[in-house]
Structure formats: C-alpha cells, structure tokens
Amino acid sequence: MKKHITLLPGDGIGPEIVAAAKKVLDVINERYDYEFTSEEQDIGGIAIDKTGNPLPEETIKACENSDAILLGAVGGPKWANQSVRPEQGLLKIRKHFNLFANLRPVTIFDALESSSPLKKEIVQGSDLMIVRELTGGLYFGQPSERRDNGKSVIDSLTYTRDEIERIVKIGFDTAMLRDKHLTSVDKANVLESSRMWREIVDEIGKEYPEVTVSHVLVDAAAMKLITNPKSFDVIVTENLFGDILSDEASVITGSLGVLPSASLNQDNFGLYEPIHGSAPDIAGLGKANPIGMILSVGMMLKYSFNLESEAAKIEEAVNKVLNDGYVTADLMSDDGQVLSTMEMTDKIISYL
Ligand SMILES: NC(=O)c1ccc[n+]([C@@H]2O[C@H](COP(=O)([O-])OP(=O)(O)OC[C@H]3O[C@@H](n4cnc5c(N)ncnc54)[C@H](O)[C@@H]3O)[C@@H](O)[C@H]2O)c1
Ligand SMILES: CC(C)[C@H](C(=O)O)[C@@H](O)C(=O)O
Ligand SMILES: [Mg+2]
C-alpha cells in the first residue's frame, strides 16, 4: 500500500510531536512493508512568520495531493494579539476540506487510572466518543466583528439543517458501532439553534430504533462528564460545546496529552491531530507527551487507510508502555519512570 501524508508541525510543541509521529510512520513502513511517504508544510504561526498567511496556498496544494494530513498544533503568545492569527489557519483548513466530523475518543488506559485527579472508581473503565461538529456554529459565523468603535461586538451562531443532520447521523452511526447509546448535548433551554438541533436528533433517531437517545443540557453534561463518565457512550454536539467538553474529558484520562482526534469529510478524507494545543509553557523542553499524536496516527490508519489491525497495534503498544510504568511529565505518577518526548516515542516503537 502506497500513501502520501502531509505533515503540518505548526507551532510550540507541534514540531516535537510531529517528529514523533514521523518516526512511528517510518517504523510502520519498515516493519509492515507499506510505503508511506510524507512531506512537511507550514501552518499557523510559523506560516504567518514566513508568508503572512496562516494557511499558505502551497500547504493547501500539498494537502490536496495527499491521502491524509497529520497536524501537531498551532498558536502561541507570540501571535495572540495580531490581526492574523495561527488558529485561523486551522479553521480554514478544516473548512477547505469540509472536515465537519470530529471524532474524539476518550478512553482511559488502565495504568492511568491513578493519574486522573478524579477518584479511581469514577474513571475506571471509562470509554466514550465525542462526535463534535467542526465546520459550523460560532467558530465560523458571520458577522464576527467589533462594532460602534469598539463599544459592542458580535459573534454569530448559525447552522443549516443539512449541517446538523450530517453530524447527527455520524453520531448515530458511531453509536451503532458501540454501545448504542447517544447523548445529544445542547442548550435548548436558551438557544434556538439547540432547539432545532434537538428536533433533528429526534427525527433522525426514528431511523435508528436500536439507539437510545438522551438529551442533556451542556452545563449539566459538563458536570456529569466528570462525576459519572461511564454514563456516556457517544456524545454528539455542536462545535463550541464539543471543544470545551473534550478538553474537560481529558481529565478522566489523566492528561490532555493523550487524546487523539480525527477530523473527517464525507469521503473519509481526514486530518488527524491530538486535541491539545501548542503548549507554549513546555515547548522546546522535550516534555511534550507524544501519545495523543501517536494515537492520531493510529486513527489515520483506521479511518483513512482501513488498517484496523495496525491501528490496534499502536494502541496496544501505548498500553504496554504505560503498564510497564513509563510516563511523561504531565502524567501524575508516584512510581513511574518519566521519559522525554522522544524517549517515550522510542519506547512505544520498541513495543510495536
Ligand atoms: N489544534 C490546535 O492546534 C490547538 C488546540 C488547542 C489550542 N490551540 C492553541 O494552542 C495555544 C495554547 O493554548 P492553551 O495553553 O490554552 O492549551 P494547550 O492545550 O496548548 O495547553 C494546556 C495545558 O496542557 C498542557 N499540554 C497540552 N498538550 C500537552 C502534551 N502533549 N503533553 C504535555 N502537556 C500538554 C500544556 O502544557 C498546558 O499546561 C493557543 O494559541 C491555542 O489557541 C491549538
Ligand atoms: C485552536 C482552536 C481553533 C481549536 C478549536 O477550538 O477547534 C482547538 O481548541 C481544538 O480543540 O482543536
Ligand atoms: Mg480545543
């Protein structure tokens, strides 16, 4: 099998974790006789510094000519107050490729049950999937601007029926492959968009009689997620709520650094990235946890290339490394051996 992948390291710890992903890809090439070629392109702050544009045309072209995209992270304090920001590059690439379906699995590794600040009996055995709408809602609404000489400001939340229907269907399809329980998270007690969302979930639910559906308001869902994570199987929700809830869910798994994601379009073309950001506080120190990035490589193998067993091998290797007591600095551990980004990567590779 031949595949070409565009690597977008981006900013902060992005280059460190994408180097880890590349190492894993190279090893998969050698051990399983695949031909995964790759090239690096710029996105985010580094692209602004070089070209003034957070998503240069050259990057788009390279991604268009690829079978999948792996992204590290974008952003950082250097660009936070500029009119052109790194995060715009990420939003643009998601929109350009119509990557509306963002899958964020939240699975706790046995060895990390004590790494969570939550009680072990609460997190033990947690396994849920957040299906986040990724190309609509507040992050893309127009107008979005300051008004009246800065005396007021507007951000707009719009969704079309089609946009809601397609992500809700992904939510139901995902539930069918799992425990057949879908929690739709909204704010229907306040927002019209959420009331329409709820109606559409109920309509589409009729086509999935085997799936039980719960509607939960986002504020209550935020509470329930960390008090009773095992009550969730699949969560389907709009862009902003999914962003916030997925970072919150990382508390269950011990660290933001271990959660991967897939952002897919209707043809299963995908961009794969850990859910965390560029972690400016630890950038360049070799402290970044590469697990979220490496599991994102696994998601790429599974969702874009149909290599399920190879994806499972990556997860198993991560599981074994953690079971043997190896951790990175972000994972609270009393007796674990703390490894750097590359040491952790090499350890995972040695267990592959
Ligand atoms: N997909 C993305 O590219 C993405 C996602 C989220 C945030 N961001 C951007 O990243 C920048 C920093 O944002 P932030 O600080 O709010 O969030 P962040 O996710 O970068 O960091 C939050 C905390 O988690 C830690 N952390 C994150 N990833 C880690 C890893 N792999 N290993 C160990 N520790 C890790 C950080 O050190 C920090 O303490 C901002 O510019 C933000 O817009 C980008
Ligand atoms: C950086 C930002 C635009 C991004 C988002 O909100 O989608 C990030 O927080 C994420 O979760 O991928
Ligand atoms: Mg986020």
Question: What atom of ligand 2 comes closest to residue 91's alpha carbon?
Answer: 3
Residue 336 is predicted with a pLDDT of 85
Residue 57, in any domain of the structure: yes
Q: Is a pLDDT exceeding 80 seen at residue 57?
A: yes
Q: Is a pLDDT exceeding 90 seen at residue 334?
A: no
Residue 312, in any domain of the structure: yes
Q: Over the chain, what is the mean pLDDT?
A: 97
Residue 107, in any domain of the structure: no
pLDDT digits (tens, 9 = 90+) for 200-210: 999 999 999 99
Q: Which ligand is nearest to the CA of 140?
A: 2
Residue 140, in any domain of the structure: yes
Residue 349 is predicted with a pLDDT of 97
Residue 177 is predicted with a pLDDT of 98
Same domain, 245 and 306: no
Same domain, 139 and 83: no
Could you tell me if the CB of 90 is within 6 A of ligand 2? Answer: yes
Could you tell me if the CB of 87 is within 6 A of ligand 2? Answer: yes
For residues 115-142, give the mean pLDDT: 97
Q: Which of 17, 248, 256, 271 to mutate to test the pocket of ligand 1 (most atoms within 8 A of CB)?
A: 256
Question: What atom of ligand 1 comes closest to residue 73's alpha carbon?
Answer: 3
Same domain, 134 and 232: yes
Q: Which residues are catalytic?
A: 139, 187, 219, 243, 247
Residue 182, in any domain of the structure: yes
Among 197, 228, 253, identify where a domain stops: 253
Same domain, 228 and 284: no
Residue 319 is predicted with a pLDDT of 98
Cα 30 to averaged position of ligand 3 atoms, centre (Å): 34
Predicted complex: ipTM over 0.90: yes
Question: What atom of ligand 1 comes closest to residue 292's alpha carbon?
Answer: 31
Same domain, 20 and 130: no
Residues 195-227, buried b or exposed e (16+ Cβ, 10 A)?
A: ebbbebbeebbeebeebebebbbbeebbeebbe
For residues 114-130, give the mean pLDDT: 95
Query: Structural domain of residue 162, as residue ranges?
Result: 116-253
319 is in an annotated binding site: no
Cα 74 to averaged position of ligand 2 atoms, centre (Å): 9
Same domain, 287 and 177: no
Confidence of residue 20 (pLDDT cuts 50, 70, 90): very high
Confidence of residue 31 (pLDDT cuts 50, 70, 90): confident
Cα 243 to averaged position of ligand 3 atoms, centre (Å): 5
Residue 69 is predicted with a pLDDT of 99
Residue 251 is predicted with a pLDDT of 97
Q: Is a pLDDT exceeding 90 seen at residue 335?
A: no
Residue 339, in any domain of the structure: yes
Residue 103, in any domain of the structure: no
Q: Is a pLDDT exceeding 80 seen at residue 333?
A: no
Residue 333, in any domain of the structure: yes
Q: Is a pLDDT exceeding 80 seen at residue 332?
A: no
Residue 153 is predicted with a pLDDT of 98
Output the pTM of the full model.
Answer: 0.98
Same domain, 239 and 344: no
Residue 116: C-alpha distances to residues 106, 126, 224, 330, 342 (Å):
13, 12, 16, 11, 23
pLDDT digits (tens, 9 = 90+) for 64-88: 999 999 999 999 999 999 999 999 9
Residue 32 is predicted with a pLDDT of 84
Nearest-CA residue for atom 44 of ligand 1: 277
Q: Is a pLDDT exceeding 90 seen at residue 58?
A: yes
User: What residue ranges line ligand 1, CB within 6 angstroms?
Assistant: 13, 73-76, 87, 90, 256-257, 273, 276-282, 288-289, 292, 330
Could you tell me if the CB of 247 is within 6 A of ligand 2? Answer: no
Same domain, 94 and 132: no
Same domain, 294 and 321: yes
Residue 341 is predicted with a pLDDT of 98
Confidence of residue 169 (pLDDT cuts 50, 70, 90): very high
Residue 33 is predicted with a pLDDT of 81
pLDDT digits (tens, 9 = 90+) for 102-114: 999 999 999 999 8
pLDDT digits (tens, 9 = 90+) for 244-290: 999 999 999 999 999 999 999 999 999 999 999 999 999 999 999 99
Same domain, 75 and 124: no
Percent of the chain clearing pLDDT 90 (strictly above): 96
Same domain, 80 and 131: no
240 is in an annotated binding site: no
Residue 238 is predicted with a pLDDT of 98
For residues 181-186, give the mean pLDDT: 99
The total domain count for the chain is 2
For residues 299-308, give the mean pLDDT: 96
Among 205, 223, 253, identify where a domain stops: 253
Question: What atom of ligand 2 comes closest to residue 247's alpha carbon?
Answer: 11
Residue 301 is predicted with a pLDDT of 97
Residue 184 maps to which CATH number? 3.40.718.10
Same domain, 236 and 124: yes
SS3 of the chain: the string is: CEEEEEEEEECCCHHHHHHHHHHHHHHHHHHHCCEEEEEECCCCHHHHHHHCCCCCHHHHHHHHCCCEEEEEECCCHHHCCCCCCHHHHHHHHHHHCCCCEEEEEEECCHHHCCCCCCCHHHHCCCEEEEEEECCCHHHCCCCCEEEHHHCEEECCCCCCHHHHHHHHHHHHHHHHCCCCEEEEEECCCCCHHHHHHHHHHHHHHCCCCCCEEEEEEHHHHHHHHHHCHHHCCEEEECHHHHHHHHHHHHHHHCCHHHCCCEEECCCCCEEECCCCCCCCCCCCCCCCCCHHHHHHHHHHHHHCCCCHHHHHHHHHHHHHHHHCCEECCCCCCCCCEECCHHHHHHHHHHCC
